[in-house]
Chain A
Amino acid sequence: MTVATTYRTCPRSGLQFESQAEKLMIANAVTAVVALLVGGLLAIGVVLTRWPAVHWLEADTFYMVLTAHGIDMLIFWMIFFEVAVLYFAASTLLRCRIATPKIAWAAYALMLVGAVMNNVAVFRGDSSVMMTSYVPMMAHWSFYLGLILFAVGALIACFVFFGTLVVAKREKTYEGSVPLVTFGAITAAIIAVFTISSGAIILIPTFLMSIGVVHEVNPLVYRTIWWAFGHSSQQINVAAHISIWYAVAAIAFGAKPMSERVSRGAFLLYILFLQLASAHHLLADPGISTEWKVVNTSYFMYFAVLASMIHALSIPGAMEVAQRAKGYNKGLFEWLRKAPWSNPTFSGVFIALVGFGFLGGISGVMMGTEQLNLLIHNTIYVPGHFHATVVVGTTLTFMALTYFLIPVLFRREMIAPGWARLQPYLFGFSMYFFCLVMMGAGTLGVSRRHWDMAFNGNALAYEWPGAAYLMMGLVGIAGVAAIAGGAIYIFVTVGSVFFGKKLDTGVVSPKFTPVPRAAPTLAAQTYGSAGFVAPGTFVLASVFLVAFVLYYFVNWKYLGQLWGLS
């Protein structure tokens, strides 16, 4: 079958963009950034209210703003951007036309309508039910309908992605196996299908309840299935941003994976086990057996953690091997010192990778441990953890990728490159600090989603320790710094897309050029030490493991001091 379309070869990156796919990627990415902008403005309200000395918004406004902030960031910003990443991984990397572009546009329209409808419902003020919207607390029906439309649109986008893979295979745009990054995107899309279906399964009856057709949705069943949507959508993020890390290692260093087999095996472990982690949210619930909790919360014996630890070695390891091959071979860390730290695409990814592992990974495994969760459940430690995963990890990675896409996809020169260079450091490090002090406050028991930690005027008021107030004040300061970092991102990207110097389009042709294979591996190896090709990375990974082990057992010691519970 021949389809009338054109392929543009980018003169700066050599990537080939099919015209329909390119427009779809632009539309989805731009909408994502708009959601990020809205979510970022809302973050100002959240941060300045939880900063005890400021305590800015009124309670009802605060809960409304917090609901919108969660949904706009965690669902709309992430998933719109991920749809763009999926189209990139299928159409651009495989140099294939996108399957059914009209349906892809319909998917985009559904997602957009759903996102707007949901936001309107929240800002009306009668749907301040938080992102989790636990029944029997009810929102306006359009809150659920918006999410359902969005979910259906995203599901269709996933199938457009799968369809594009089929077209690429049939039209032989590549030979052999798909690239590793596409493989990671397939992982993300498989997880997305599971995730979005779970969302639809539980939100449809809840929507019917909101219009009075269904009498009751069981609260425990709701929690169980909703989390297969709420937590698993963060697993889409993980699979997507790890794929981007591999891509950026390839783009910035020409790095190849240390082993295709190991990295793909790790993605396969994600497909098999990562979803079980929605159990993390149910560890403190009644009515669920211990065996179910232990098996699920540990991703069936921690096989998804194993996969993440593999990526944690393989990605910086691949960078190290590539740098050493270029001659940066002195000592353990010359390869890292000589990395392109002033390139925001690289610095963003590296700061994201380290922060995701040390802050997000370790804290996530700790609080996902069945008994240790008693110390953490619903404290502000939880948002401390997930800001380390979805903000430091995913959001910063997506930001870093945008800096690469501005000249390549949007064909504009970046305005204010100095600001762009600074941005990953400001945003990344202030978020590191933000997460740390938030987890500190959570360790002292401070609640999440809580307007007034002072319990003003309450006869039974609890007085939090001074350290908790100090930590929450620091959360406020770090949050403001991070929001400034986010504002720079919006300024640079939006400014570049509208006002940046236009760059040349490159050669446009009616036919694709097949993807070449990677160059064969050189057998001889003249770098590394003790039989290790990337000794520096191994040392860094060992530091990570020691931190992990220590922190894990410190928390068991803390748990052992609590009241007896059985």
Chain B
Amino acid sequence: MSAILPPSERLWWKHPLDRQELVWIGIAFVWCMVMFFMMVLWHIYGKQNLATETYKTNPEKYSAQAQAAVDKWTVRNETAMNIPVVAPPEGADVYMIARLWNWWPILELQKGKTYKLHLSAMDYNHGFSMQPTNINIQVVPGYEHVIKVTPNETGTFSVVCNEYCGIGHHEMVGRIYVK
């Protein structure tokens, strides 16, 4: 019962390692290094890395920027709430507002083109969860996160809120079209 008793040898730290444990530690160490450098390598060779470009902002400033983009590039309105559908040119700064309890506006992007997507929350934390591709990004109030996105498929995508944001949380869903 020695795990619950003081070790038998006073100098237990000088006890030679068992061969089996030594082999396993070696294998485990190699695997740990593979996993570590995999993250680094993906930053060099991979195409899906979350941008870190972030600015401090506030609701007034951010909604003004979003409104300007909506005024410039709205192509139509959808649903009973007349949500604008914004179709920006390639390379443009596009804005999405997360607030209680909707995503605004709807975006219409083109496959294979790159856009700078800005995300910020007006009130609480929200979660940008784009389905069915399954891309998930935290949206924090007071911070404007700028992510370069390049859609690689066409279709209709939904933006579900997956950060709990109060009683209407489950009603918060937005949309992105890719042509």
Contact = CB atoms under 8 A, between A and B. Distances in A.
Contact of A298 (B36, B149, B165): B36
Nearest to A532: B20
Contacts of A455: 170-171, 173
A306 B28 contact: yes
Interface stretch (B38-46, B62-70, B88-96): B38-46
Interface in B7-42: 7-10, 12-13, 15, 17-21, 23-25, 27-29, 31-33, 35-36, 38-40, 42
Given A314-B21, A562-B48, A176 B129 contact: no
B interface, size bucket: 35 or more
B74 interface: no
A8 interface: no
Given A250-B3, A460-B174, A565 B49 contact: yes
Nearest to B33: A301
Contact of A286 (B23, B42, B140): B140
A247 B3 contact: yes
B28 A377 contact: no
Contact of B163 (A378, A459, A461): A378
B141 interface: yes
A459 B17 contact: no
Given A458-B171, A517-B5, 5 more contacts: A264-B12, A309-B24, A371-B42, A443-B134, A564-B148
A531 B5 CA distance: 27
A174 B6 contact: yes
Interface of B: 1-10, 12-13, 15, 17-21, 23-25, 27-29, 31-33, 35-36, 38-40, 42-43, 46-52, 54, 79-81, 114, 119, 123-125, 127, 129, 131-145, 147-153, 158, 160-167, 169-171, 173-175
B173 to A, nearest CB: 5
A556 B38 contact: yes
B36 to A, nearest CB: 5
Q: Is the interface of A mostly helix, strand, loop or mixed?
A: loop
Given A179-B4, A450-B169, A533-B18, A375 B39 contact: no
Contact of B175 (A460, A531, A562): A460
Interface in A536-566: 538, 541, 545, 548-549, 552, 556, 559-566
Contacts of B47: 560, 564-566
A30 interface: no
A379 to B, nearest CB: 6
Of listed B3, B10, B161, residue having the most chain A CB within 10 A: B3
Contacts of B5: 179, 515-518
Contacts of B165: 137
A340 interface: no
Contacts, number: 322
11 contacts: A179-B2, A258-B18, A259-B15, A286-B140, A286-B144, A306-B32, A317-B21, A375-B135, A449-B169, A460-B79, A564-B148
Given A287-B54, A374-B137, A60 B1 contact: no
A517 to B, nearest CB: 5
Contacts of B2: 179-180, 250, 256-257, 518-519
B25 A262 contact: yes
Nearest to B121: A219
B21 A180 contact: no
A452 to B, nearest CB: 4
From A310, A445, A534, residue with most partner B Cβ within 10 Å:
A445
B48 A565 contact: yes
Contact of A258 (B20, B33, B162, B169): B20
Given A517-B7, A566-B148, A303 B131 contact: no
B125 A137 contact: yes
Contacts of A249: 3
B39 A294 contact: yes
Interface in A341-392: 365, 369-371, 373-379
A250 B4 contact: yes
A27 interface: no
Nearest to B168: A59
A545 to B, nearest CB: 7
A188 to B, nearest CB: 15
Interface in A7-34: none
Contacts of B169: 63, 449-451
A374 B35 CA distance: 17
A301 B35 CA distance: 8
B28 A310 contact: yes
Contact of B12 (A177, A294, A305, A376): A177
User: Residue among B6, B19, B162 with the most chain A CB within 10 A?
Assistant: B6
B3 A517 contact: no
